[in-house]
């Protein structure tokens, strides 16, 4: 019989609601709260030996403590697998589940969770563990439990794991070698024939689809417009006081430029790890052309320059994070009465 350690939050662990979101992690022998729903579908294969319950705020704000607690329980119970959640579209709970799974995997213990596709934790943790696709809210638990329990049993018994589509987990970004009866050329021709004949076919490599953005109303008179400068070139004050990351940024910074006329060498640098920053460090205006905007302001070509640089690192940044940061920056610029934006990318 395999052993499963279950993780859930204060709500599903029946400690309490949002008022208990700061409750510290605690462990109960056997099943507690939503763990009970997994008991029956797992039986014959695995037993839930203990349930860890932790408040959403507590885990999100004290991740190291949460991890340490989990590690202790893993050392105590020696589970074959950790099952966390499902957390549906819950932000903090989702991140806790992802982090719990990642921590377990780091200790060599298999771990799975279940999240809704838009839960930011999917993007954050899908490479670290299997995340099963579940509904948006707890109303989806009836479908989520058999899906997750069935997948858990496969993993526990060493059964072959199918494709993300077959098993309904988020693709982990791994390439797996497999043998096919027909070679690539034959399969491509089959696919093309099916397509021209109007028959169903399935791509073997899905290309991400992006939304096309409609241009907004153009600026009527540049000489009266307030222009802001944004960059994804990782330009930060020298020494990087805010610890801007070199890749996969999830935040941006708004740097006040006061009455500076340009970005001076030695006062600014690029922390972007996706290009050689030598030229940008020599002259940061090569990435964020603040000097030229100030010149054009003096010449009256543009009305004024918004005296801030909105900066982040655009290196393997997820579309979801980039979209969110763009929305945040837009709100800030609207509040500042900005009429137009130049956004530079490296």
Partner 1 sequence: MEKAGIPAAHICTVTPISKTVGAARIFGAQAIPYPTGDPHLSREKEMARRREIVTGALALLTSSDKSVDGESNAVFTD
Q: Which residues bind partner 1 (CB under 8 A)?
A: 210-220, 222, 225, 227, 230, 233, 275-280, 282-283, 285-289, 291-293, 295-296, 301-302, 319, 326-327, 329-331, 333-334, 338-346
Rounded-to-integer distance, Cα 164 and Cα 180, Å? 17
CA-to-CA dists, residue 33 to 39, 97, 200, 266, angstroms: 11, 16, 44, 57
> Please, what is the minimum distance in Å from the beta carbon of residue 278 to partner 1?
8
58 C-beta neighbours (distance < 10 Å), count: 22
> Please, what is the minimum distance in Å from the beta carbon of residue 226 to partner 1?
10
Rank residues 181 and 214 by Cβ distance to partner 1 and give the closer one. 214
> Please, what is the minimum distance in Å from the beta carbon of residue 299 to partner 1?
10
> Please, what is the minimum distance in Å from the beta carbon of residue 324 to partner 1?
13
> Please, what is the minimum distance in Å from the beta carbon of residue 110 to partner 1?
35
> Please, what is the minimum distance in Å from the beta carbon of residue 136 to partner 1?
23
333 C-beta neighbours (distance < 10 Å), count: 20
Rounded-to-integer distance, Cα 344 and Cα 31, Å? 53
Rounded-to-integer distance, Cα 223 and Cα 219, Å? 10
Q: Three-class SS of residue 205?
A: coil
Give the strand pairing for 226-231 and 235-237. Answer: unpaired
> Please, what is the minimum distance in Å from the beta carbon of residue 282 to partner 1?
7
Rank residues 19 and 276 by Cβ distance to partner 1 and give the closer one. 276
In this structure, are residues 324 and 124 in contact, taking their beta carbons and an 8 Å threshold?
Answer: no
Rank residues 137 and 327 by Cβ distance to partner 1 and give the closer one. 327
CA 321, chain centre distance (Å): 7
Rank residues 212 and 243 by Cβ distance to partner 1 and give the closer one. 212
CA-to-CA dists, residue 1 to 33, 76, 79, 145, 149, angstroms: 22, 17, 11, 20, 15
Rank residues 152 and 235 by Cβ distance to partner 1 and give the closer one. 235
Rank residues 213 and 256 by Cβ distance to partner 1 and give the closer one. 213
Angle CA 173–176–182, to nearest 5: 125
> Please, what is the minimum distance in Å from the beta carbon of residue 290 to partner 1?
10
In this structure, are residues 66 and 96 in contact, taking their beta carbons and an 8 Å threshold?
Answer: yes
Rank residues 81 and 329 by Cβ distance to partner 1 and give the closer one. 329
Rank residues 50 and 325 by Cβ distance to partner 1 and give the closer one. 325
Helices H, strands E: what count in the chain?
11, 12
Rounded-to-integer distance, Cα 145 and Cα 179, Å? 32
């Amino acid at each position: 019989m395999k052993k499963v350690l279950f993780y859930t939050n204060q709500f599903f662990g029946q400690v309490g609601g949002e008022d208990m979101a700061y409750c510290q992690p605690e462990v109960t022998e056997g099943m507690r709260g939503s763990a009970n729903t997994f008991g029956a579908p797992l039986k014959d294969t695995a037993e839930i030996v203990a349930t860890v319950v932790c408040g959403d705020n507590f885990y999100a704000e004290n991740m190291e403590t949460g991890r340490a607690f989990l590690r202790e329980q893993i050392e105590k119970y020696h589970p074959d697998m950790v099952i966390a959640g499902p957390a549906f579209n819950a932000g903090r709970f989702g991140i806790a589940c992802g982090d719990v799974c990642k921590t377990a995997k780091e200790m060599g213990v298999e771990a799975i969770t279940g999240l809704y596709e838009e839960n930011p934790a999917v993007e954050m943790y899908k490479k670290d563990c299997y995340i099963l696709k579940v509904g948006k809210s707890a109303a989806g638990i009836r479908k989520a439990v058999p899906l997750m329990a069935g997948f858990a049993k496969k993993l526990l018994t060493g059964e072959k794991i199918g494709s993300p589509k077959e098993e309904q987990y988020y693709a982990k970004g791994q390439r797996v070698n497999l043998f096919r009866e027909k070679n690539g050329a034959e399969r491509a021709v089959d696919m093309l024939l099916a397509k021209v004949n109007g028959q169903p076919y399935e791509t073997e490599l899905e290309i991400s689809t992006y939304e096309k953005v409609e241009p907004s109303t153009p600026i009527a008179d540049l000489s009266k417009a307030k222009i802001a400068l944004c960059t994804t070139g990782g330009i930060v004050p020298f020494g990087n006081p805010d610890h801007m990351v070199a890749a996969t940024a999830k935040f941006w910074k708004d740097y006040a430029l006061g009455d500076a006329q340009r970005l001076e060498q030695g006062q600014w640098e690029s922390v972007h790890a996706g290009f050689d920053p030598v030229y940008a460090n020599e002259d940061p205006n090569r990435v964020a052309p603040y000097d030229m905007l100030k010149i054009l302001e003096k010449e009256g070509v543009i009305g004024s320059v918004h005296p801030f640089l909105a900066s982040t690192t655009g290196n393997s940044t997820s579309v979801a994070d980039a979209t969110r940061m763009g929305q945040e920056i837009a709100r800030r610029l609207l509040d500042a009465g900005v009429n137009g934006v130049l956004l530079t990318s490296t």
